[in-house]
Amino acid sequence: MSEALDVLLRCLVVLGAFLTMPLLVGQMEHKAMAHMQARVGPMAAGGFHGWAQLVADGVKFAQKESITPAAADRRVFELAPAVALVPYLVAMVAIPLGPFFGQGVLIGQDLDLGLFFVLAAMSVGVLGTLMGGLGSGNKYSYLGGMRVAAQLMSYELPMVLAAASAAMLAGTLSLVGIADAFEPWWLVVQLPGLVVFFVAGLAELQRPPFDAPLADAELVMGPLTEYGGMRFAMFLLAEYAGIVVLAALTTVLFLGGWAGPWAEQLGWAWTLLKIVGVSFLVIWARVAYPRLREDQVNVLAWKVLVPLALAQVTLTTVVVVW
Amino acid sequence: MRALLDDTYLPGYATVGAIVVVGLLLATAMLGVNRLLRPQVASRDKRTTYESGVDPVGEGWAQSTVRYYVYAFLYVIFAVDAVFLFPWALVLEQIGHAAAVEMGVFVGVLAIGLAYAWRKGVLSWT
């Protein structure tokens, strides 16, 4: 019985993180983006600098009517937001936060296939957007869906290769093991891998500058055009949960996870700090760079990222063996 | 290396099963709350396809040229190979040079394939 309770408790903690961290990143995006553009962002909701803006948004979304277009493939259309959302929750279960006041590593479950598992779960999330795009029966959504597919195919490969490079250095696929094995000089050796992983992750999440599938100036909202209310909110939550998962993976694979002073006690805080830092970069990229055109998206993947990632794998092999 | 069906191995995945269930419950709960709170005012106009405000023309689905189908082929070839990298990554240090040389051949073949596709011009859209 106590085992079942233990599993339940782990799930609830992961669920708690899943429901709060994306909102924090979302609020950070509101405020950081606003200040980068010489605005102040939300100020009213909740009183203090609009801290409750996203909570208010959530309450609003929950009361919205649900509309399925007559032309849509009803089942696919209605299931898509769940398919987009749930995988990121599942991915979070295998991501470690690090030692918690000397109590061992804070993690949902340490899987010995952790890295593989998280990457697999993340790619399932993209299918949700694809389902939305092809199931809406809308021309904008359809074009957006095609672009999602192109992006998924191009960027999955460099991402997996860069992640494999981290696994090679550590000699394990367990995310706890990889972060534990971290040594500072990896930052130098793994730098190309880090860049490739982060950029490919951005593209996989369809975050600007890789938001050609959503491209509001051309495709209205791409695959999400026909969505409103709660289902749209689920896609939105999935997007920010995706940022958290990407930032956490980047942290654990390439930035040493909980490596830092007093890691035995405060490891979890270091990991969280690094996750927030990487999430900030994701937001910064949105403000700083213009959107890539569709053909540029694919060219960047195959002509720059894939060769870079292959070079990284070769370099890592040399480093590990010699 | 733990054996696959060792007593401690599969229970580790109980949490994974549980979190999938929790995820499905979460999605159901979100849509359930929405169902309880939302108004429902049926109207045919609401259910028409959005096409920038004008009446939708034709269908939303159409046959079209998938310009990036070559990428799709490349992806399938590369992705299958990339999966083999993971088990190899684990034993690289134990096997040492031989494993490195074999992977060098493997990556070399991939690189030649990519270079060939590049020279053929299939990596740029015309």
Q: Is B46 inside any structural domain?
A: no
Residues B73 and B124 grouped into a single domain: yes
ipTM of the complex: 0.82
Q: Is A2 inside any structural domain?
A: no
**pLDDT (0 to 100) of residue A274:** 92
Residues B71 and B112 grouped into a single domain: yes
Q: Is B62 inside any structural domain?
A: no
Domain containing A233 equals 69-321
**pLDDT (0 to 100) of residue B1:** 47
- How many CB atoms sit inside 10 A of residue B33's CB? 13
pLDDT higher than threshold 80 for residue A68: yes
SS3 B30: helix
Q: Using an 8 Å CB-CB cutoff, list chain B residues near A317.
A: 92, 100, 103-104
Percent of chain B whose predicted confidence (pLDDT) is above 90? 5
Q: CB–CB of B75 and A153 under 8 A?
A: yes
Residues B33 and B81 grouped into a single domain: no
H or E stretch at A180: helix A175-181
H or E stretch at A54: helix A53-62
**Cα dihedral A160, A163, A167, A168 sign:** positive
Residue range A159-190, pLDDT digits in tens: 988 998 888 888 888 888 888 888 888 888 88
Residues B71 and B110 grouped into a single domain: yes
Confidence of residue A26 (pLDDT cuts 50, 70, 90): very high
Residue range B29-81, pLDDT digits in tens: 988 988 888 888 888 888 888 888 787 777 777 777 776 777 777 788 777 77
Rounded to 10°, the helix A74-92/A229-254 angle is 30
Q: CB–CB of A137 and B60 under 8 A?
A: yes
pLDDT higher than threshold 80 for residue A218: yes
| A window 134-153, beta carbon within 8 A of B | 134, 136-142, 146, 150, 153
Residue range A241-265, pLDDT digits in tens: 999 999 999 999 998 888 878 877 7
Q: Is A197 inside any structural domain?
A: yes
Q: Using an 8 Å CB-CB cutoff, list chain B residues near A298.
A: 68, 71, 123, 125
Confidence of residue A211 (pLDDT cuts 50, 70, 90): confident
**pLDDT (0 to 100) of residue A212:** 82
Q: Are A152 and A269 in contact (CB under 8 A)?
A: no
How far, in Å, are A158, B16, B65 from residue A155 at the CA level? 6, 26, 21
Confidence of residue A149 (pLDDT cuts 50, 70, 90): confident
H or E stretch at A108: none
**pLDDT (0 to 100) of residue B86:** 84
Q: Is A56 inside any structural domain?
A: no
Of residues A69, A168, A173, nearest to B47 (C-beta): A69
Q: Is B47 inside any structural domain?
A: no
Domain containing B31 equals 1-39
**pLDDT (0 to 100) of residue A192:** 92
How many CB pairs (< 8 A) connect A and B?
A: 211
Q: Is A13 inside any structural domain?
A: no
Residue A66's φ and ψ, nearest 5 degrees, are -100, 120
Residues B32 and B80 grouped into a single domain: no
| Burial profile A135-153: b = 16 or more Cβ within 10 angstroms, e = fewer | bbbbbbbbbbbbbbbbbbb
State CA A48 to chain mean position distance: 28
**pLDDT (0 to 100) of residue B4:** 54
Q: How far apart are CA A76 and CA A134, in angstroms?
A: 9
Residue range A74-94, pLDDT digits in tens: 899 989 999 999 999 999 888
Testing the interface with A: which of B25, B68, B83 to mutate, by most A Cβ within 10 A? B68
User: How many structural domains comprise chain A?
Assistant: 1
User: How many structural domains comprise chain B?
Assistant: 2
Q: pTM of the predicted model, to two decimals?
A: 0.89
Mean pLDDT of chain B: 79
Report the DSSP pairing between strands A98-99 and A105-106: antiparallel
Q: Using an 8 Å CB-CB cutoff, list chain B residues near A314.
A: 104, 107
Mean pLDDT of chain A: 87
Top pLDDT among A291 and B59 is at A291
Residue range A92-121, pLDDT digits in tens: 888 888 788 777 777 777 778 888 889 888
Q: Is B4 inside any structural domain?
A: yes
Residues B121 and B72 grouped into a single domain: yes
pLDDT higher than threshold 60 for residue B3: no
Q: Is B5 inside any structural domain?
A: yes
Top pLDDT among A309 and B11 is at A309
> Best-predicted range by mean pLDDT among A197-201, A296-300, A312-316?
A197-201
Q: Is B99 inside any structural domain?
A: yes
Question: Per-residue DSSP letters for B89-116?
Answer: HHHHHHHTHHHHHHHHHHHHHHHHHHHH
pLDDT higher than threshold 60 for residue B121: yes
Residues B73 and B126 grouped into a single domain: yes
Percent of chain A whose predicted confidence (pLDDT) is above 90? 28
C-alpha torsion A280→A281→A286→A288, nearest 10: 120
**pLDDT (0 to 100) of residue A180:** 84
Q: Using an 8 Å CB-CB cutoff, list chain A residues near B43.
A: none
Q: CB–CB of B104 and A314 under 8 A?
A: yes
**pLDDT (0 to 100) of residue A108:** 73
Q: Is B53 inside any structural domain?
A: no
